Structure 1
């Protein structure tokens, strides 16, 4: 039974896992049948014949993503096991990769097969001694220290909760929407007269009807809630400081001057935005907690030689940066740990300047870094030390993270040193792929468009009928009534070179047969109606082989490397004892 690709991880799926009970010693090898059956001994002293018992088996039903069963073995390779947690992670990763439209769900057997294959290659790499390479050990040591510090920080901040008042303030700021009435004026002085009229006691709705009737303004004057992701930056900035009952000063837009009146301010529900506000609150409080804890660790462990620190000048020509890099004088003593030396600090400062320190020294930019760089060195030392004092380096979570990282590094080293050198691609193979997959290297059409926008499709259809009777598009755009002002349009195609891939799917399909001068109707968000004119069209272009070659090479190389991994694993299977315990995933 396959897992639906839209399955939530929290769903408990039954995992049926069969375990072989410990076998008797004689069952280690299958018994060989005798050539002929032996006659039973009829004497009373003879003992009845006995046979080795069949291995017992237990069948366990376990929730797939339950931490209680994370360490349950699902496969065995010699004396090593593949844990259910590893299969969980691999299935989850495959599930995430397929969210974008895969038609089938991942087959757990194939995923488990890949886990076993990778483990076989890791075992082979260790046999070759690749895990003993100095560069790999150095990288792993860095990972261990970083993971220890992160584990300590997580332990310190695990109980931090969002501040309710802070969350509410940040959340409301992020979801705030303005319910506005808007008008578009051709003359700035007409737009500027709106605020004095409102101050004199006139209502905006009444004023809007009057100005539209007098042909001084365009628009419906009807209220609309503006979504922030579809609001022009200048409009959003003008609305931000306003309260209910206030209007903007005239805003210069492409087609005139807009005035927006805030009828109300609303705060729609947005769980994602609330989650972001909660995370920001937790992050801020966690930062404060860690800063205070760092000060406590400094008092507990650290003693800085301030006199020596002031004396050192990394910008000074003497004794010179190269000399300071080798300086073994302790500049910071940490209880129970090796000191931080002048040389350690010099190396940390020098890492900032990839092209050397000579020019930065002349510009007096090197010595400025000694305090922040020293602070970073102290942070790493004291947090790593405290994590070990708390024995976090002995925790199951930490040890598993280190094991997983080491396996990943060993696997990557095996691939790079053993498999990659044997993978080669011929130019004729690349050319054959290019010739057989021309669609992959053909661009979408490019358009320049103009539009006339209305509040609904009825207005757009009436405009299209007038165009069909011969009305000029530009004249229509300049004179048609009921058009949406720019601030209220959900879509704006003008002034841009647009790929068909970036257009709404139904519009791109409608434009597929359109030539320059043709127009198409389109229904946009919130029921808005658009008449879209094709001003220019660039036909699809085929990418030349020389340009496409690097992408083809990368793709085919990846496929060849995957085959090499599979082939190597197939050879190794014969040399190892492999057993799988999981039988199926399903309800």
Structure 2
């Protein structure tokens, strides 16, 4: 069957080796049509050929000749990497432990990533990935050989993993087909990506707002009234009328009003720190933002799945649990009943079909664990009774979900066993690294200093700025201020006396607190505004309707970092390098003592 796959790297070239008997006349002589050739090198003479009930004598030449040595036939298989039909195809065998396509996909992070056979696979050196898989298998096998699988840290971790895997598998099965309604996704994404272009006026007094509104009610056009208020100084332009403003840059109170307005509508005046903003909607647009759409899709899908899981959980509780009236009478804040007494109370509060009943003592123990800072303090603060229903729901959910998973035999599936083995292998590899490989790694100061010398260009301090700023109600005002400051006006005096100032956004306050700020820490637009600046420069910066003057108080160019400053980082780098070397050494040693067969041939792997 021909696959439709157009996946980059999808046709992964493999060599599958098989010892096949060759029915060549030159080796075995003639074979009658329809007759099966004798197995080669089997140690058994060919059976006599039977036709219509008559036995034919075997050829003396074949019977007496020694069995020929079989040829090895190499078959190259073009296998789509992401096709599930090849998931179990072996790529390598490590002491009878098979590494499959599925293992390779898992290693490169493509399982459960939503990728189909038509999509592009990630750019990876698959030969290196497979080599690492082989090395890991060798170390895991060695970990078992030296008894690390009996380590006391492994069993409890595996028990918890198996328990959680059962639950996750069952719950995932309930929601795997649940997705967001695409109509809702499109609608909400559109709303969240809306941008507005506004014509706004900033005024200082409420009386001025009322005067503006009165003229509008009298029938005067908005533009005419706007221009008159600007010209006589009663108001100031509130930003660039040609600039669109994203919703995340708009005051939440104003945003609520904006979302209800249409183009041409005038919004209700919005109070700001130093007056009011009067505005009209000039234009509304939405951006095509695939990331926003995907974010909304995930949010809505999550909401629907949570609701479905709640419904499923409630159905299991109803199916398996019978609550006793005793539960409702439990009062953990009753001072007449010591909590210690409840920890020994074996009365049943819930009967669970086929399971151990839940007693007051069991429940009280869970309550105690919930308030690990002290249940007595929680009782005194009257927090326990408020939380007891939630604690009960958590307990019962765990019990009934575990029960349902076992009844559905999830723990007997191949997928479950593969995941358990994979987890155990991961833990064993970690133990082998921690107890065998890592202890052999040692680092000297001479080595770290040598690394510092060889990689000096990697240890350079980033460029940094010491900044100050003035915010204005409009970008035009900020441009005007920049021009004045560049002609010699004192910055501190201007900041104290300039008119039309606004408050610096809380998003930017940290950049102007008198501490050096690395260039990479600045927002992209601010970095762009400061590009090429030096000490003493002034640059305009616009954020929505607010204009800023950025004052470069000081500038530090990139410079080499002292060894003492980066010694810790270098030790980590050198340690990582030596650790990899040690891993490679162990892998080589284990490989020599093992039987490793690699079937995959990546030399003709399709390139993306």
TM-score by length of 1: 0.77
1:17 is aligned, of 3, 14, 19, to 14
Choose which of 252, 255, 271 in structure 2 pairs with 1:251. Answer: 271
Q: Which runs of 5+ in 2 are unaligned?
A: 22-38, 43-59, 114-121
- After superposition, the C-alpha distances for 1:228-270 in whole angstroms (9 at most, x for unaligned) are 234455654664565551224243257x643322234444433
| Contact 1:72-1:84 within 8 A present in 2 as well | yes
d(CA) in 1 for partners of 2:163 and 2:573? 36
**Pair 1:73-2:93 in alignment:** no
Match of 1:54 in 2: 71
Please name the residue that 1:446 is paired with: 465
Matched position secondary structure for 1:61: strand
Preserved CA contact (<8 Å) 1:185 1:218: yes
- Which residue of structure 2 lines up, in the alignment, with residue 100 of structure 1? none
Q: CA deviation at 1:307?
A: 1.5
Moved more, 210-219 or 45-54: 45-54
Structure 1 residues 243 and 509 mapped into 2: Cα distance closer, same or farther (>3 Å)?
A: closer
Cα 1:57–1:438 change in 2 (3 A) is closer
Q: Which residue of 1 aligns with 2:427?
A: 409
Does structure 2 retain, via aligned residues, the 8 Å contact 1:350–1:357?
A: yes
| Deviation sequence 1:462-493 (CA, Å, 0-9, x none) | 98777666566789999999x999999x9999
CA–CA distance in structure 1, aligned partners of residues 173 and 418 of structure 2: 17
Secondary structure of the equivalent of 1:75? Answer: strand
**Counterpart for residue 291 of structure 2:** 272
3-state DSSP of counterpart to 1:450: strand
Is 2:106 the partner of 1:89? yes
- 1:99 corresponds in structure 2 to none
5 Å matches for 1:76-225? 76-92=93-109, 106-163=124-181, 166-167=184-185, 170-185=188-203, 189-219=207-237, 222-225=241-244
The aligned residue for residue 302 of structure 2 is 283
Paired residues for 1:544-555 under 5 Å: 550-555=568-573
Deviation string 1:336-356 (CA, Å, 9 cap, x unpaired) is 233334443333222223344
Distance change (3 Å), C-alpha of 1:314 and 1:82: farther
Moved more, 274-283 or 435-444: 435-444
Residue 326 of structure 1, CA deviation: 6.1
Contact 1:443/1:543 (<8 A) preserved = no
Contact 1:315/1:364 (8 A) holds in 2? no
Q: Is the 8 A contact 1:15 1:586 kept in 2?
A: yes
CA distance in 1, matches of 2:525, 2:330: 71
Whether the 8 Å CA contact 1:519–1:533 is kept in 2: the answer is yes
1:482-501 pair list within 5 angstroms: 495=512, 498-501=517-520
Q: Quick check: 1:208–1:221 contact (8 Å CA) kept in 2?
A: no
How many pairs align?
550
More divergent stretch after superposition (171-180 vs 138-147): 171-180
**1:500 to 1:189, Cα distance in 2 relative to 1, 3 A:** farther
Q: Residues 35-59 of structure 1, C-alpha deviation per residue, up to 9 Å, x if partnerless?
A: xxxxxxxx99994565212122221
The residue number in structure 1 matching 2:412 is 394
Cα RMSD for the two superposed structures: 4.6
Residue 423 of structure 1 pairs with residue 420 of structure 2? no
- What is the alpha-carbon distance in structure 2 between the residues aligned to residue 222 and residue 65 of structure 1? 52
Change (3 A) 1:495 1:268: same
CA distance in 2, matches of 1:54, 1:206: 96
